[in-house]
């Protein structure tokens, strides 16, 4: 023991760090902040450290070359001992990091921690969120598979919409005219050097301010923040009801951090690494690219926005969102901190959470995309062909062969791009069906040029059989009079 003490003293005489570390460790924090709700910041830092370590380990094998990246990932998955596990740790770590950063942000927002004097801590936190998302996106690119390749294409298409500068921004982003070797190299530089470097610097500032300004006290309804008096009140609080951070509060951080690491490792062990999916060969076009989990909401949004709104929303939306987050502490730097007295804050969080959750859920089954193989893979269900005439059966064949099924479902099988046709005959008359098939409209392509008159007749004959047993198909009553055609028996009586 004496030897350890001697060595310690030898170092401290030169480093002189013992006293500052002791000061930080023992700085008084309000007792009620030693709470399980105050552990998310340190948990995010823990996962970030895990990402640094596993990232360095992956870099021992990974090759940032468009020609070899994909095969080096295969080597990691199948050849290198436990390479799959390190990849899985890094992949799941990234998911956990985004999630924990978001939870941390919601917690400090609801606890009013962004108010005076912690405005800058919040603003740097906003940048840390953006960098975390930047790491998630660039990391997805380094997993250089088909999703990464076409994801870059989507990124380039969005960037190209910037007025005037669009084409230059695309070439700057891609490092050349196409998505290729230079693109992967620059995303590697961003993911491994640029963004982590900034992250480490900003995390250090973020932590420094937490220590210097003190942790946000547990908000009490009615205890209002005023610039003139807050600092004095906070110091009085820590003097009156404070406790040293170590060990009074830190034990919860440590235990939660361990739980998070166990959860990451558990997910990595059970679910394994993410991909890579198919080889990033642009001539393989049989692919359905999808972004990673945390960008699924964006994927949904891009499908559901009206086309004319898309470019403005893509270019202006992020600017407004980031500006709102950065300006928040200046717009409400004083006042109530407690969520019990801030109903709009609570509603805002709930609205955003429900919106993002709904979009994410929708994106998981993408009802807006045609199902490319439904026409050849999902036969017309039997019940729709019972007692059908030859013409109607021919119509069912046309229905399949012309890929109608890719967008229209029957008996819940097939695409959901267009309406389900189980009972289309109830909604549309024969004339309306013909018009819709030939001219399209309402987001349906026109099939006039791709259907012969005989095919159209057969197809419409089949569509007219699609109505529930007890429900008559729609008909145009005026036809009975104009053309003298007989209507249903009960209708003829009134003529």
Partner 1 sequence: MSNENMMTRRGLFAKIGILLNGVVAAALAVPIGRFLLSSVTRGRADGYLSWVSLGPVSQFPEGETRLATFRNPYVMPTDGKTADTACWVRRVDADQFQVFAVNCAHLGCPVRWFPQSGLFMCPCHGGAYYRDGSRASGPPERGLFEYPYKVTNGAVVIQAGELPTPGSTAAADKRQPPCA
Least CB distance from residue 187 to partner 1, whole Å?
A: 13
> Is residue 289 within the footprint of partner 1 (CB under 8 A)?
yes
> Is residue 2 within the footprint of partner 1 (CB under 8 A)?
no
Least CB distance from residue 490 to partner 1, whole Å?
A: 39
Strands 242-244, 224-225: pairing is: unpaired
Residues 334-353 that bind partner 1 (CB under 8 A): none
> Is residue 192 within the footprint of partner 1 (CB under 8 A)?
no
Least CB distance from residue 371 to partner 1, whole Å?
A: 9
CA-CA-CA-CA torsion sign (79, 82, 87, 92): positive
CA distances from 220 to 39, 104, 345 (A): 19, 19, 16
What is the H or E stretch that residue 335 is in? strand 335-336
Q: Around 126, how many Cα atoms within 13 Å sit in the side-chain half-sphere? A: 18
Distance from C-alpha of 155 to C-alpha of 312, rounded to nearest angstrom: 15
Task: Spell out, one character per residue from 234 to 273, where the chain touches partner 1: x when CB under 8 A holds, - when not.
Answer: ----------------------------------------
Least CB distance from residue 389 to partner 1, whole Å?
A: 23
**214 CB burial (10 A radius; 0-12, 13-18, 19+):** buried
**37 contacts 222 by C-beta, under 8 angstroms:** no
Residues 309-328 that bind partner 1 (CB under 8 A): 310
Least CB distance from residue 443 to partner 1, whole Å?
A: 5
Bridge partner list, 448? none
Of 48, 150, 187, 245, which one interacts with partner 1 (CB under 8 A)?
150
Least CB distance from residue 64 to partner 1, whole Å?
A: 8
Of 283, 382, 478, 494, which one interacts with partner 1 (CB under 8 A)?
283
> Is residue 143 within the footprint of partner 1 (CB under 8 A)?
no
Of 80, 107, 133, 161, which one interacts with partner 1 (CB under 8 A)?
161
Distance from C-alpha of 178 to C-alpha of 70, rounded to nearest angstrom: 18
Contacts of 175 (CB under 8 A, 6+ apart): 182, 183, 185, 186
Q: List the one residue out of 158, 184, 161, 183 whose CA is nearest residue 172.
A: 183
Of 194, 368, 438, 475, which one interacts with partner 1 (CB under 8 A)?
368
> Is residue 196 within the footprint of partner 1 (CB under 8 A)?
no
Residues 431-470 that bind partner 1 (CB under 8 A): 440-441, 443-447, 449-450
One DSSP character per residue, 104-172 reads: HHHHHHHTTTTSTT-HHHHHHHHHHHHHHHHHHHHHHHHS-SHHHHHHHHHHHHHHTTSTTTHHHHHHH
Of 4, 13, 308, 482, which one interacts with partner 1 (CB under 8 A)?
308
* Comparison of 285 and 319: residue with beta carbon closer to partner 1: 285
> Is residue 423 within the footprint of partner 1 (CB under 8 A)?
no
> Is residue 419 within the footprint of partner 1 (CB under 8 A)?
no
Judged by CB under 8 A, the stretch of 161-169, 245-253, 254-262, 336-344 that binds partner 1 is 161-169
> Is residue 65 within the footprint of partner 1 (CB under 8 A)?
yes
> Is residue 184 within the footprint of partner 1 (CB under 8 A)?
yes
> Is residue 67 within the footprint of partner 1 (CB under 8 A)?
yes
* Comparison of 264 and 398: residue with beta carbon closer to partner 1: 398
Distance from C-alpha of 110 to C-alpha of 216, rounded to nearest angstrom: 12
Q: List the one residue out of 408, 406, 413, 463 whose CA is nearest residue 434.
A: 463
CA-CA-CA-CA torsion sign (55, 58, 63, 69): negative
Residues 373-402 that bind partner 1 (CB under 8 A): 375, 401-402
Tokens standing for residue 158: 């969005």
* Comparison of 28 and 176: residue with beta carbon closer to partner 1: 176
> Is residue 190 within the footprint of partner 1 (CB under 8 A)?
no
Contacts of 71 (CB under 8 A, 6+ apart): none
Distance from C-alpha of 445 to C-alpha of 453, rounded to nearest angstrom: 17
Judged by CB under 8 A, the stretch of 34-42, 120-128, 170-178, 337-345 that binds partner 1 is 170-178
Q: What is the dihedral of CA 100, 102, 103, 104, to 10 degrees?
A: 80
Judged by CB under 8 A, the stretch of 61-69, 230-238, 351-359, 461-469 that binds partner 1 is 61-69
């Amino acid at each position: 023991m004496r030897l350890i003490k001697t060595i310690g003293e030898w170092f401290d005489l030169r480093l002189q760090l013992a006293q500052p570390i002791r000061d930080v460790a023992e700085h008084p924090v309000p007792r009620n902040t030693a709470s399980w709700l105050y552990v998310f910041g340190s948990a995010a830092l823990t996962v970030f450290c895990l990402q640094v370590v596993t990232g360095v380990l992956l870099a021992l094998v990974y090759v940032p070359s468009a020609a070899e990246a994909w095969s080096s990932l295969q080597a990691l998955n199948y050849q290198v001992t436990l390479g799959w596990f390190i990849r899985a740790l890094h992949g799941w770590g990234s998911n956990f990091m985004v999630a924990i950063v978001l939870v941390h942000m919601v917690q400090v927002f609801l606890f009013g921690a962004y108010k005076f004097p912690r405005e800058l801590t919040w603003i740097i936190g906003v940048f840390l969120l953006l960098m975390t998302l930047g790491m998630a996106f660039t990391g997805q690119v380094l997993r250089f598979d088909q999703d990464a390749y076409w994801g870059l294409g989507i990124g380039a298409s969005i960037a190209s919409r910037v007025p005037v500068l669009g084409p230059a921004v695309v070439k700057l982003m891609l490092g050349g005219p196409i998505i290729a070797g230079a693109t992967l190299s620059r995303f590697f530089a961003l993911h491994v050097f640029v963004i982590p470097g900034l992250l480490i610097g900003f995390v250090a500032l973020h932590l420094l301010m937490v220590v210097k300004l003190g942790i946000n006290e547990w908000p009490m309804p009615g205890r209002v923040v005023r610039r003139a008096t807050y600092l004095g009140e906070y110091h009085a609080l820590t003097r009156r009801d404070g406790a040293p951070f170590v060990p009074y509060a830190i034990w919860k951080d440590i235990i939660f951090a361990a739980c998070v690491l166990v959860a990451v490792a558990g997910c990595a062990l059970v679910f394994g690494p993410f991909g890579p999916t198919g080889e990033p060969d642009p001539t393989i076009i049989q692919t359905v690219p999808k972004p990673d989990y945390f960008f699924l909401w964006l994927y949904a949004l891009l499908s559901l926005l009206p086309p004319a709104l898309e470019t403005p929303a893509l270019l202006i939306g992020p600017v407004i969102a980031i500006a709102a987050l950065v300006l928040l502490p200046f717009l409400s730097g004083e006042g109530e901190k407690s969520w019990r007295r801030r109903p709009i804050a609570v509603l805002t969080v709930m609205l955003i959470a429900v919106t993002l959750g709904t979009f994410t859920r929708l994106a998981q089954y993408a009802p807006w995309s045609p199902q490319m193989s439904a026409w050849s893979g999902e036969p017309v269900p039997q019940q729709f062909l019972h007692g059908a005439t030859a013409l109607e059966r021919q119509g069912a064949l046309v229905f399949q062969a012309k890929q109608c099924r890719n967008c229209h479902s029957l008996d819940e099988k097939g695409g959901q791009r267009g309406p389900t046709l189980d009972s289309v005959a109830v909604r549309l008359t024969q004339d309306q069906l013909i018009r819709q098939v030939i001219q399209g409209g309402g987001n349906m392509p026109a099939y006039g040029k791709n259907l012969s008159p005989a095919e159209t007749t057969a197809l419409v004959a089949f569509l007219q059989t699609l109505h529930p047993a007890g429900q008559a198909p729609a008909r145009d009553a005026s036809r009975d009079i104009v053309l003298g055609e007989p209507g249903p028996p009960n209708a003829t009586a009134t003529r």
